[in-house]
Structure 1
Amino acid sequence: MAKRPVTRIDPRKELSPYLNHEFNQQRNSRKSKAKISASLSSLQAERRRSLRRRLGLIMTVSILMIAGLGFYVSPLPNISTVKVTGASDLPTKGIVRTSKIKASDKVFDYIFQQKDLSQKLAKKYPEIQSAQAHLGHVNQLILQVNERPTVGYLKDGDVYRKILNNGKIGSQSVNWTKVDHEKPIFVGYNKSATLKEDLKLFDSLPESFRKQVKLLSGNTRRDSQIILVMKDDNVVIGNTVTLKDKINDYNQIRLKAGKHSLIDLEIGAFSRPLTSSEKKAYGIS
């Protein structure tokens, strides 16, 4: 019997694919573990940095709050001086007294109470429209007062009081030298109701006409009558109900009438020269 040929098998060669596969898997596993480890280390480092930032921020805010609180409770922010600006005809000491600002108060307390401060001062002084508190030096409070516009002056004996844009009368008296002569003067108004009515009518007239008026007289024969003394020394008499409609005729009549004339718009529309007694009554020389 013939012998079968013997085939030699190399075990290493047969096992090589398997061994190579196992080796590659182990190598890939080690790489994956290394990557995961590196990612975890990076994440932990980022968390530590974030924690340090948060702690730093908390410590900074805490230190600033403690320092601010320490400064607030110390005598340093206490008001030492008060400077009042913008109140041309109002008493500075009276404003400070009305505001109830004391030397023991804190500067910052009034900076955040602007509305209450304005209401308190306006109640005492109608001339004040608003007031703001500002920090001057470290412990100086600047009280900025904003006055209401003046639309005219009310003659009160030998002095004058401002008529404000809201119809109220100023609390302070001013001398003739401090009167703004571009504004009209209201003379002989003993009743506040009549003054308010005439002031309302005056405000409704054209601005070009209002600028020519230097005086309004409350010494009228009838409540419905209004008397205006012009800057050119003419006198206009009108009816409070119809004057606004007739005022357009004034310039045309004035040109024909000449100086020192009485222009009557109360019933019709005519003019005549002023008498000597009328000139004296209206202060025309």
Structure 2
Amino acid sequence: MTRDNFIPEHRRYSQRLARLEKQNNSAQAREHQPISNKVVGIKKQRRNSSKKRISVLVWIFGLVLLVMIYIISPLSKVTDITISGNNELSNERVEKATTIWRGRLIWTAFFAQRHLEHEAKIRDPQIRSLKVKLRGPQSVHVAITENHLLGEGQIGKQKYAVLTNGQLQLTTAQNTNIDFKGFEKNREQLKFLGQQLGKLKPVIYHGISSIEYQPTKESPHQIILYMKDGNTVKANLTNVGDKLKYYPSILTKMKGQGVVDLRVGAYSYDYGSKDK
């Protein structure tokens, strides 16, 4: 290496060494700063941390306070109730069964739907399902589906309403639907018949005037249905729901009033013809 090249290299080395010494001195100065400065920094950090915690607590407390004020205020109470899906049940009867009344906390009605549905079914078996919807800050809508009323039957000394899900409900109302006869000592058969008829379209079971339970040795499950159109139907309690659905199509083939036999197969004959 020539002398001319050596001089610039030496200068660069000297400059690099000077920078390193300067950085080292700065680091030592920071390490040996007065303890009072460190204490001040720590106190400042603690104050900032305390402010943040206090701010969070104030927000939480304020939110809880607002919720409590809302709960005890009239704004959280139900003032308007609408009901849909009830054809046989009155609005008053639905409200009583569901325990959703004006003045009840609106959120307890919305978030406790399953409990309300369970209790409503117990209080009134004609309620099949229930759903609560919020229509406003103080308005709820109750949508229900019904177990339709088929008619009434006598069990022992008590009169029961027969529903399309097979449930029996004590009643004192005047019967305007199907009159179930011969079930005084056959409670389970009556419940099963209700389930069978529940499979049918309303237009079919609304066309039944009365049903008699007439078991025989040859037909141990025989029932006789007296239709409002003047026809008589012989069927089995065990499958009447599956077979009676063909009744409208059978009528189109009948020339006049007569008997429809659904016990074995399906056929019909006029009252005037020889009894089959």
Q: TM-score, normalised by structure 2?
A: 0.57
Q: Could you tell me how far apart the structure 1 residues matched to 2:244 and 2:64 are?
A: 70
> Which structure 2 residues correspond to residues 1-285 of structure 1 after superposition, within 5 A?
17-27=9-19, 58=56, 61-62=59-60, 65-66=63-64, 68-79=66-77, 81-86=79-84, 87-100=86-99, 105-138=104-137, 140-150=138-148, 153-155=150-152, 163-169=162-168, 186-189=178-181, 191=183, 192-202=187-197, 214-215=207-208, 217-222=210-215, 224-229=221-226, 233-240=230-237, 258-264=255-261, 266=263, 272-274=269-271
User: How much does 1:262 deviate?
Assistant: 1.9
User: How much does 1:122 deviate?
Assistant: 1.4
Decide whether aligned partners of structure 1 residues 73 and 148 sit closer, same or farther in structure 2, where only a CA change above 3 A counts. Answer: closer
User: How much does 1:120 deviate?
Assistant: 1.7
Decide whether aligned partners of structure 1 residues 90 and 13 sit closer, same or farther in structure 2, where only a CA change above 3 A counts. Answer: closer
Q: Could you tell me how far apart the structure 2 residues matched to 1:76 and 1:166 are?
A: 40
User: How much does 1:109 deviate?
Assistant: 2.4
User: How much does 1:85 deviate?
Assistant: 0.7
Q: What is the identity, as a one-letter code, of the residue corresponding to 1:263?
A: V
Q: Could you tell me how far apart the structure 2 residues matched to 1:101 and 1:249 are?
A: 42
Total equivalences in the alignment = 235
Q: What is the identity, as a one-letter code, of the residue corresponding to 2:15?
A: F
Q: What is the identity, as a one-letter code, of the residue corresponding to 1:147?
A: T
Decide whether aligned partners of structure 1 residues 59 and 108 sit closer, same or farther in structure 2, where only a CA change above 3 A counts. Answer: same
Instruction: Provide the secondary structure at the position in 2 that maps to 1:26.
Output: helix
| Residue pair 2:208, 2:225 contacting (<8 A) in 1 also | yes
Residues 244-272 of structure 1: CA distance to partner in whole angstroms, max 9, x if unpaired?
99889989986775211123455798754
| Residue pair 1:127, 1:164 contacting (<8 A) in 2 also | yes
Q: Could you tell me how far apart the structure 2 residues matched to 1:187 and 1:78 are?
A: 47
Q: Which runs of 5+ in 1 are unaligned?
A: 1-9, 35-46, 177-184, 276-285
Residues 179-199 of structure 1: CA distance to partner in whole angstroms, max 9, x if unpaired?
xxxxxx532336343322334
Decide whether aligned partners of structure 1 residues 110 and 33 sit closer, same or farther in structure 2, where only a CA change above 3 A counts. Answer: farther
Residues 120-166 of structure 1: CA distance to partner in whole angstroms, max 9, x if unpaired?
2211111222334444443x24251412353x621579xxx975442
| Residue pair 1:79, 1:102 contacting (<8 A) in 2 also | no
Q: What is the identity, as a one-letter code, of the residue corresponding to 2:188?
A: A
Q: What is the identity, as a one-letter code, of the residue corresponding to 2:140?
A: I
Q: Could you tell me how far apart the structure 2 residues matched to 1:24 and 1:89 are?
A: 98
Residues 47-76 of structure 1: CA distance to partner in whole angstroms, max 9, x if unpaired?
9xxx8xx77994795376245324334423
| Residue pair 1:78, 1:106 contacting (<8 A) in 2 also | yes
Q: TM-score, normalised by structure 1?
A: 0.56
Q: What is the identity, as a one-letter code, of the residue corresponding to 2:260?
A: I
Residues 205-251 of structure 1: CA distance to partner in whole angstroms, max 9, x if unpaired?
xx69x965621633354363222345764322234468799889989
Q: What is the identity, as a one-letter code, of the residue corresponding to 2:130?
A: A
Q: Which runs of 5+ in 2 are unaligned?
A: 27-44, 155-159
Q: Give RMSD over aligned pairs.
A: 5.2
Q: Could you tell me how far apart the structure 2 residues matched to 1:166 and 1:65 are?
A: 48
Instruction: Provide the secondary structure at the position in 2 that maps to 1:226.
Output: strand
